């Protein structure tokens, strides 16, 4: 049977700032907030067509305590919110591992899945043993002294329970293992011997199986997609997800399916809309590299200036995911062309319905009531959002015609026909902006805008 999952999310305590306010007296207040978040998640997932989601931050003590209180377990590692059985949850977290490489600190975000609260409690003891400050940070840092220590510690986590799964998160973004903060060539440059235990990697919003097809080392890995949502807002949750083939809905089956390449397909956020797709520097940039509100630049890999240097501020550009995929492909001594890639896994690209409505209605605030009303109306007719992308255009038109605004229907028509682009594309931490009725070529972008004269470089 098919099970639709989103295995990387965050709790209300992610980000650190709220977490710092936590005191025992605030427990009731925090619990209220947490339950509200879980209830909203429970309502949102069915609208997206997602059956199961990760809890996020499952080792964060206050969150663990609340989850233990409000969850009902079916004894197979699957949890439900008491009194509400729409959405299933599994215990999941994201940890930041760091290690000095080339005299700088290399960062990699890593997702872990846990089968039981007991395994989570043992994991927390390990964090204590390593001296990790995890009580004030929902996404803690595990600082390692050497690459050998990275392997050793991940083995220690995996040794807690054979069903714990490790999944490098958003691998191509600056905070992912292949990200640009320090350019590695192979997974083992970070993970060492524990690379053998890595079966699954997360594509991240700015990449999908086609772009990752540029990297030979990933040919035999399983790729999954998750929302990495930091809030329960409709436009954040379920932006990406994975459809797995499982024999039963239980935690062990889910992990078995991940380890045995039983991904039916992934649903991908359009990479061009992702925050780190192209290489560039955004406007209003603070240090390092200062730009005012008229200065920005972004480039496809073939147009990136020499040395990755910004033509405006002369600092290093933020390297986009597209460029990193090309670079790693070359570093692994195989130069593949994005146009020739035949992805090894099925996937569909799904422009989020909220983004389409926001563009069609010209309403920028994606949490606006008017957009939510449009969204709910469409879903009430068609079914969950994922169905919209499976149905042929004619069927969508038949079902929605006369029932929703013509402007909205026309926007859906354009997206389903592929008649859209992003202007600009996502770069340097900014999401791409959807533009309907035009097609773009992300392989030939070379934009530098500056109303003040560019600084002259003397040769
Ligand atoms: Zn992350
Ligand atoms: Zn710059």
For residue 14, which ligand has an atom nearest its CA?
A: 1
- 145 to 157, 195, 230: CA distances (angstroms): 17, 18, 29
Confidence grade of residue 457 (pLDDT, cut at 50, 70, 90): very low
Q: Which residues pair with 245 in a beta bridge?
A: 2
Q: What is the pLDDT of residue 31?
A: 87
Quote the ligand 2 centre to 297 CA distance (angstroms). Answer: 7
- What tokens does 271 get? 């990479």
Quote the ligand 1 centre to 170 CA distance (angstroms). Answer: 7
Please, which residues have CB less than 5 A from ligand 1, an ion? 109, 169
Q: What is the pLDDT of residue 365?
A: 92
For residue 174, which ligand has an atom nearest its CA?
A: 1
Q: What is the pLDDT of residues 172-186, one digit of tens each?
A: 998 999 998 888 999
- 277 to 125, 270, 336, 354, 425: CA distances (angstroms): 38, 10, 18, 20, 7
Quote the ligand 2 centre to 272 CA distance (angstroms). Answer: 20
- 229 to 6, 52, 68, 142, 421: CA distances (angstroms): 10, 14, 22, 22, 24
Average pLDDT (82-95) is: 92
Average pLDDT (315-337) is: 93
For residue 56, which ligand has an atom nearest its CA?
A: 1
Under a CB-based contact definition with an 8 Å cutoff, are residues 7 and 266 in contact? no
φ and ψ at 37, to 5 degrees? -60, -45
Average pLDDT (30-59) is: 92
Classify the C-alpha dihedral 168-98-176-21 as positive or negative: positive
Quote the ligand 1 centre to 393 CA distance (angstroms). Answer: 35
Specify whether the backbone of 221 is left (phi greater than 0), alpha (psi in -120 to 50) or beta.
beta
Quote the ligand 1 centre to 197 CA distance (angstroms). Answer: 20
Q: What is the pLDDT of residue 233?
A: 79
Q: What is the pLDDT of residue 21?
A: 57
For residue 296, which ligand has an atom nearest its CA?
A: 2
Classify the C-alpha dihedral 116-121-124-129 as positive or negative: negative
Quote the ligand 2 centre to 296 CA distance (angstroms). Answer: 7
For residue 283, which ligand has an atom nearest its CA?
A: 2
- 294 or 389: which leads in pLDDT: 294
For residue 448, which ligand has an atom nearest its CA?
A: 2
Q: What is the pLDDT of residue 23?
A: 64
Quote the ligand 1 centre to 232 CA distance (angstroms). Answer: 16
Q: What is the pLDDT of residue 449?
A: 94
φ and ψ at 148, to 5 degrees? -60, -35
| Domain 2-273 grouped into CATH 2.120.10 | no
Asked if pLDDT for residue 445 goes beyond 80, the answer is yes
Q: What is the pLDDT of residues 237-280, one digit of tens each?
A: 888 999 999 999 999 999 999 999 999 999 998 999 999 999 99
DSSP string for residues in 360-390: HHT---TT-HHHHHHHHHHHHHH-SHHHHHH
Whole-structure pTM value: 0.92
The enclosing H or E element of 73 equals strand 71-73
Q: What is the pLDDT of residue 459?
A: 39
For residue 282, which ligand has an atom nearest its CA?
A: 2
For residue 176, which ligand has an atom nearest its CA?
A: 1
Quote the ligand 1 centre to 4 CA distance (angstroms). Answer: 21
Q: How many helices (H) and strands (E) does the chain have?
A: 14, 18
Quote the ligand 2 centre to 312 CA distance (angstroms). Answer: 5
Q: What is the pLDDT of residues 274-294, one digit of tens each?
A: 999 999 999 999 988 899 999
d(Cα 422, Cα 455) in Å, to the nearest integer?
29
Quote the ligand 1 centre to 347 CA distance (angstroms). Answer: 22
* Local structure of 151: helix, strand or coil: helix
Asked if pLDDT for residue 24 goes beyond 80, the answer is no
Quote the ligand 2 centre to 306 CA distance (angstroms). Answer: 14
DSSP string for residues in 158-198: HHH-TT-EEEE-STTSTTSTTSTTS--SSTHHHHGGGGGG-
Asked if pLDDT for residue 455 goes beyond 60, the answer is no
Specify whether the backbone of 23 is left (phi greater than 0), alpha (psi in -120 to 50) or beta.
beta
d(Cα 375, Cα 383) in Å, to the nearest integer?
11
d(Cα 348, Cα 350) in Å, to the nearest integer?
6
For residue 109, which ligand has an atom nearest its CA?
A: 1
For residue 9, which ligand has an atom nearest its CA?
A: 1
* CB-neighbour burial class of residue 120 (10 A; exposed 0-12, middle 13-18, buried 19+): buried
Asked if pLDDT for residue 456 goes beyond 50, the answer is no
Quote the ligand 1 centre to 410 CA distance (angstroms). Answer: 35
Instruction: Give the start-to-end residue ranges of the domains of the chain.
Output: 2-273, 351-418
Quote the ligand 2 centre to 430 CA distance (angstroms). Answer: 14
Quote the ligand 2 centre to 117 CA distance (angstroms). Answer: 46
φ and ψ at 235, to 5 degrees? -85, -5
Quote the ligand 1 centre to 141 CA distance (angstroms). Answer: 11
Quote the ligand 1 centre to 136 CA distance (angstroms). Answer: 17
For residue 170, which ligand has an atom nearest its CA?
A: 1
- 24 or 229: which leads in pLDDT: 229
Under a CB-based contact definition with an 8 Å cutoff, are residues 11 and 56 in contact? yes
- 20 or 287: which leads in pLDDT: 287
Under a CB-based contact definition with an 8 Å cutoff, are residues 205 and 170 in contact? yes
d(Cα 191, Cα 177) in Å, to the nearest integer?
9
Confidence grade of residue 447 (pLDDT, cut at 50, 70, 90): very high
Quote the ligand 2 centre to 426 CA distance (angstroms). Answer: 16
d(Cα 401, Cα 404) in Å, to the nearest integer?
7
Quote the ligand 2 centre to 454 CA distance (angstroms). Answer: 11
Q: Which of 453, 291, 433 is nearest to 359 (CA)?
A: 433
d(Cα 1, Cα 40) in Å, to the nearest integer?
26
Q: What is the pLDDT of residues 397-422, one digit of tens each?
A: 999 999 999 999 999 999 999 999 99
The 10 Å Cβ neighbour count of residue 255 is 21
Q: What is the pLDDT of residue 16?
A: 46
d(Cα 324, Cα 31) in Å, to the nearest integer?
41
Q: What is the pLDDT of residue 423?
A: 92
HSE-CB of 25 using CA atoms within 13 angstroms: 1
d(Cα 218, Cα 187) in Å, to the nearest integer?
9
The proportion of the chain whose per-residue pLDDT surpasses 70, expressed as a percent, equals 96
Classify the C-alpha dihedral 418-421-425-429 as positive or negative: negative
Quote the ligand 1 centre to 367 CA distance (angstroms). Answer: 23
Confidence grade of residue 295 (pLDDT, cut at 50, 70, 90): very high
Q: What is the pLDDT of residue 20?
A: 46
Angle between helices 27-48 and 369-382 (to 10 degrees): 50
For residue 227, which ligand has an atom nearest its CA?
A: 1
Quote the ligand 2 centre to 290 CA distance (angstroms). Answer: 6
């Amino acid at each position: 049977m098919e099970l639709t999952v989103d295995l990387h999310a965050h709790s209300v305590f992610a980000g650190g700032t709220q977490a710092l306010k936590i005191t025992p007296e605030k427990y009731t207040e925090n619990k209220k907030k947490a339950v509200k978040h879980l209830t909203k998640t429970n309502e949102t997932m069915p609208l997206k067509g997602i059956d199961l989601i990760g809890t996020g931050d499952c080792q964060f003590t206050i969150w663990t305590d609340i989850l233990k209180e409000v969850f009902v377990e079916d004894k197979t590692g699957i949890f439900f919110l008491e009194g509400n059985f729409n959405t299933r949850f599994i215990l999941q977290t994201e940890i930041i591992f760091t290690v000095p490489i080339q005299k700088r600190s290399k960062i990699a975000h890593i997702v872990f899945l846990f089968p039981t609260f007991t395994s989570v409690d043992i994991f927390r003891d390990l964090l204590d043993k390593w001296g990790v400050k995890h009580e004030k940070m929902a996404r803690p840092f595990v600082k390692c002294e050497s690459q050998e220590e990275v392997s050793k510690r991940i083995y220690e986590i995996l040794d807690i329970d054979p069903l714990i799964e490790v999944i490098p998160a958003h691998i191509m973004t600056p905070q992912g293992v292949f990200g640009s903060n320090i350019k590695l060539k192979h997974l083992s440059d970070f993970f060492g011997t524990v690379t053998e235990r890595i079966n699954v990697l997360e594509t991240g919003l700015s990449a999908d199986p086609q772009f990752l097809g540029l990297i030979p080392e990933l040919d035999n890995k399983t790729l999954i997609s998750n929302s990495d949502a930091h809030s329960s807002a409709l436009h954040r949750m379920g932006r990406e997800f994975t459809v797995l083939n499982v024999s039963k809905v239980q935690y062990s089956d889910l992990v078995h399916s991940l380890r045995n390449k039983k991904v039916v397909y992934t649903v991908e956020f359009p990479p061009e809309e992702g925050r780190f797709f192209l290489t560039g520097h955004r406007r209003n940039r603070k240090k390092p590299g200062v730009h005012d509100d008229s200065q920005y630049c972004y480039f496809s890999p073939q147009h990136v200036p020499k040395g990755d240097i910004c033509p405006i501020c002369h600092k290093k550009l933020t390297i986009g995911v597209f460029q990193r995929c090309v670079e790693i492909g070359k570093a692994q001594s195989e130069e593949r062309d994005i146009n020739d890639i035949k992805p090894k896994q099925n996937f569909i690209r799904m422009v989020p319905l909220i983004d389409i409505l926001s563009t069609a209605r010209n309403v920028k605030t994606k949490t606006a009531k008017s957009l939510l009303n449009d969204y709910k109306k469409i879903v009430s007719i068609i079914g969950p959002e994922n169905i919209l992308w499976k149905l042929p255009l004619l069927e969508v038109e038949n079902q929605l015609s006369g029932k929703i605004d013509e402007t909205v229907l026309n926007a859906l028509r354009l997206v389903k026909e592929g008649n859209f682009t992003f202007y600009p594309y996502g770069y340097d931490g900014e999401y791409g902006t959807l533009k309907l009725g035009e097609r773009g070529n992300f392989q030939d972008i070379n934009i530098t805008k500056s109303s003040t004269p560019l600084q002259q470089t003397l040769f």
